[in-house]
Amino acid sequence: MSRHIVVIGGAGYIGSVLVSALLEQGNQVTVVDDLWFGGESLLPFLPLQRFRLVKADVSTSRELDRVMQDADGVVHLAALVGFPACDRAGRETTWRVNVEATKRVYEAAAHAGVRRFIYASSYSNYGHAEGDATVTEESPLFPQSLYAESKIAAERFLLDQTAHNGISTVCLRLATVFGLSPRTRFDLMVNQFVLEAFSKRRLVLYQQDFKRSFVHVRDVARAMALVLDAPDDHVRGQVFNIGSEKLNTTKSYLVELLRKHWTDIQLEMRDVNFGGDMRSLHVSFEKARSILGFEAQLSLEEGINDLCWVLENNVIWEPQSDHYRNHPAILV
């Protein structure tokens, strides 16, 4: 059945992959994006009658009300993503983009009678876990950054609203995303490691034994499509961790995978403790598996192999460009 899905921030890293998947399913898709990082990722879709691109800042634009009128679902991806970007922007801007704009999008969707609202959140919200405890959706939240604080505030608003009106809201706490996209980012951990290993044969390693969780960008898009299709009583007002226990690992393991491609990689170990995202977590994804039927399909090795091939064959021109980053490197 064809639906009309509005993707807020659809020109971005996750959005451009999701748009492709939704169009392939036969849906009508409208992207609302301010095109801060350009819109080249959506060029192949522009000739399609089932696709529409609206350039707008969702925090101020009146376009939202018109766009939402016949929408069946909304996926809200637009945000300042990650603690470096949020710290650089400051609290006022972060709150305007990540919290107030989310409220504006939700209110437009609710007013239009949209059936399903998906919010892209983050497993950064958990902050840290005591000992070796496995983190589930019921675990307490200990935000370690302005970014996580803003995501938690937006989640709470959305889940509170779900109890009072007809729109069915679902929050997805994504693990650290990796892999190729029409708008590939090289400021995400795995992707950045691959680029630095390729271009410098050198990696700066800190928190090397901290546990992190990862998920391929194509698996994220697949999870969102599953949520759009799920029965209302399965997902309404729910939070799901999106990732895989098989992808709970450390930076040291990433180095092992990269050395299969470049054996001469040099490591520089640093003892770094900055006021930001210092989480070390082992995350459970059982809820998404049992309720949504979601199982991540793509491994770290597959994602790294794709990235290595693209860089070695010059498929992405000037990968060091700021065009492929949402924020400057944390360490140089």
Residue-level pLDDT at 276: 52
Helix, strand, coil share (%) of the chain residues, nearest 5: 40, 20, 40
| pLDDT of the residue at 83 | 82
Q: Band of the pLDDT at 207, cuts 50, 70, 90?
A: low
Give yes or no: residues 186 and 160 share one domain.
no
Q: Distance between alpha carbon 231 and the CA centroid of its chain, in Å?
A: 23
58 with 111, same domain: the answer is yes
The total number of structural domains that make up the chain: 2
- Residues 169-187, mean pLDDT to the nearest whole number: 97
Looking up residue 238, the CATH number of its domain turns out to be 3.40.50.720
Question: Which positions ≥6 away from 270 have C-beta within 8 Å?
Answer: 204, 205, 206, 331
- 156 and 206 part of one domain: no
Task: Tell me how far the alpha carbon of residue 91 is from its chain's centroid.
Answer: 20
Please tell me the pTM assigned to this model.
0.94
pLDDT in tens, 118-132: 999 999 999 876 666
Looking up tokens 């990732």 gives 243
* Domain membership flag for residue 289: no
pLDDT at 272: 60
Q: Do residues 267 and 208 lie in contact, with contact meaning Cβ atoms separated by under 8 Å? A: no
Asked whether residue 163 falls in the same domain as residue 117, the answer is yes
pLDDT in tens, 274-320: 555 555 688 999 999 999 999 999 999 999 999 999 999 999 989 99
Contact assessment for residue 326 and residue 187, using Cβ atoms and an 8 Å cutoff: yes
3-state secondary structure of 116: strand
Domain holding 197, by residue range, is 181-211+250-279+298-324
DSSP 90: -
Partner residues linked to 239 by β-bridges? 171
Structural Rg of the chain based on CA atoms: 19
Same domain for 44 and 187?
Answer: no
